[in-house]
Amino acid sequence: MKYEELKEEIKAIADIAGSVPDMFKERCFEVLLQNLLVSTQPAEKPAQPPYGKPSATEELQDTQALAANGGGVPTPSQIKVFMQKTGVTAAELAKVVMYDDKIVHFIQEPLGNKIARGQVEWALLLALKKGIEKNVLDVDPEEVRSICQEKGFYDAANFATNFKGALTAKLFQGEMKKQGATQKLSNDGLAELGKIVKEFANRPAK
C-alpha cells in the first residue's frame, strides 16, 4: 500500500475511533490499526485442508484467532450471511461492538425511554453477540429478560406480551416465552437487526 493510501486509511480509522464513547476510543483505534497493518502484509497462500470444508467449529476458531491477532470483530459464516443480506459493513459493526478475549462488548446500546422498543433491540443485539461468539444467530428469552432488567427496559406486566405482538413475533422463528427455548432470528429479524446496527453506527459522536 502506498504512503498516501495508508495515510487516508489511518485517518478513516481515527474518525471511527473518535465516534465511540471515550472509554473505548483507544482500544478501538488499536484494534482497527492492527487490522489495517495485517491487511497490508503480503497474503500467503492458505494451506488446503486434507479433505472437505472446515467444520463450523473450525471456521469459528479461525475467525476468533484472526480477531485475537488484530483482525477486529470476527465474522464467522452466519455473520457474513447477515452482513450480505443487510448491507452492514465491517466498519459499521466495529462502531457497535468490540471483540476482546473471545467476548463481545457493546459500544453502542439501546437508548431512550421506549421500553418495548428497547426490549426488541436488546433481543436482536444479543443474537448478534451470539452470532459473533458462537456462529449461531439465536437468543435466549431469559437472557433478554435479564439484560432488560439490568438496563432499565423491563416491564413485568408487558414483557411477554410485547414479544407476542405481530410486529415483534415475526422477528423470530418461534415464540419468545418465559423460560422457553432459544429462538433463531427470522429473515425479518435479520433485516431489523441490520437496521439497528446501521442506526447505532451512525449516531453522532458524543
Give dist(CA 40, CA 16) in Å, integer: 19
102: DSSP letter: T
Residues of the chain with pLDDT below 70 are: 1-4, 6, 36, 38-71, 205-206
12: left (phi over 0), alpha (psi -120 to 50) or beta: alpha
Res 66: pLDDT? 46
H or E element, residue 187: helix 187-201
Domain ranges of the chain: 3-201
What are the grid coordinates assigned to 63, written together?
A: 475467525
What is the value of pTM for the model shown?
A: 0.70
Closest CA to 101 of 129, 133, 136: 133
